[in-house]
A and B are shown apart, each in its own frame.
Chain A
Amino acid sequence: MDCQEAKEKLLESFDGALSPDDSRQLERHLIACPNCAEFGESLNSLDVQLREAITAPRLSPGFRAALRARIDRQPRRLWAHWLPDVACLAGSGAAILCCVFLLPFPASAVLWIGALIAAASYSVQTLVLSSLEEL
């Protein structure tokens, strides 16, 4: 094991346990190489300092009550979340039926074309809404 490999293994040892073989090789290298041993010491000391400095505080006991109060202050939705979908499909259906009766084309052709346009517009609407949600 050369110095570069030893330093990589030293860094890896903080992510999780090394394999027994890697540990043995690293140990042998550190005995023979004071530079890498010093690097290992500095990483150990850094690890101790990071453990002491980065501690996880907990949320305050009033967190949930405050969140609940904010949720309660939110205005209620005027309509159910599925209503725009239903309105879109009902509107498309009504428009297609009107076209079937009013346009001077065979009813089956109007139905097919209308259904395709309705499906395309519904897909576009879904895409736009999901992009807005991700924003």
Chain B
Amino acid sequence: MMKDEDVDELLRRRRYEGAFGLLLDRYQEKVFRLALSILKEAGRAEEVTQDIFLKLWQALPFYDGRAALSTWLYTIARNTCYSTFRKESIRMTVAIEGRAEPSRRETLSQQAEIKQLLERLPRVQREAITLFYLEDQSIQDVAQMLDLPQGTVKSHLHRARRALADMMRS
């Protein structure tokens, strides 16, 4: 199985094409899921995943090894997603409001309802709980992708569960 050290070695030998291929194999789905947890829409998340890997390709020759490759890649990914999110926030707000008609809530399926409730959580709690389920319930992976300590991720998850449980009861 490919390790980040293999990529480091290729980068040291300036074999960027090979290193990029290995990074795609290992991280493309994870980066896509991270983008999905932030942008919430699969089509947009895929486009932004392309943007992220394009930036990665351009930045590879400048990787200096000060941060772990995964940390570096997730930082590029998060910054790109947040920047896209900020640019499109007006459009997305309109879209979400359009979907979240409270008067029609009772007619929506349970899945749609829980997705609406997720929208009402603070951003970091929503991202943590979404990634937790997307990443096969691995706190370690969520912590790495959001660049947060594991204890902080747990605390966001607990708050999110409490808030969702309260919302479901009310």
Residues in chain A within 8 A of chain B (CB atoms): 8, 11-12, 14-16, 39, 42-43, 45-46, 49-60, 63-64, 66-67, 70-71, 74, 81, 129-130, 133-134
* Distance (whole angstroms) from the CB of B57 to the closest CB of chain A: 6
Find out whether the CB atom of B168 lies under 8 angstroms from the CB atom of A42: yes
Residues in B neighbouring A57, C-beta threshold 8 A:
36, 42
Q: In the assembly, what is the distance between CA of A53 and CA of B133, in Å? A: 9
- The reply to whether B32 and A59 form a contact with Cβ atoms under 8 Å apart is yes
Are B157 and A14 interface neighbours, CB within 8 A? yes
Q: Which residues of A contact B169 (CB under 8 A)?
A: 42
How many residues belonging to B are interface residues under a CB distance threshold of 8 Å?
A: 38
A54 touches B130 (CB 8 A): yes
Chain A residues near B154 (CB-CB < 8 A): 12, 15
Q: Which among A15, A46, A54, A55 is the interface contact of B165 at CB below 8 angstroms?
A: A46
A52-B36 Cα distance, complex, nearest whole Å? 16
Q: Is the CB of A60 within 8 A of B46?
A: yes
What are 11 A-to-B residue pairs whose CB atoms are below 8 Å? Answer: A11-B158, A14-B161, A42-B169, A50-B129, A52-B110, A54-B134, A58-B32, A59-B29, A67-B54, A74-B58, A134-B75
In the bound complex, how far is the Cα of B31 from the Cα of A58, in angstroms? Answer: 11
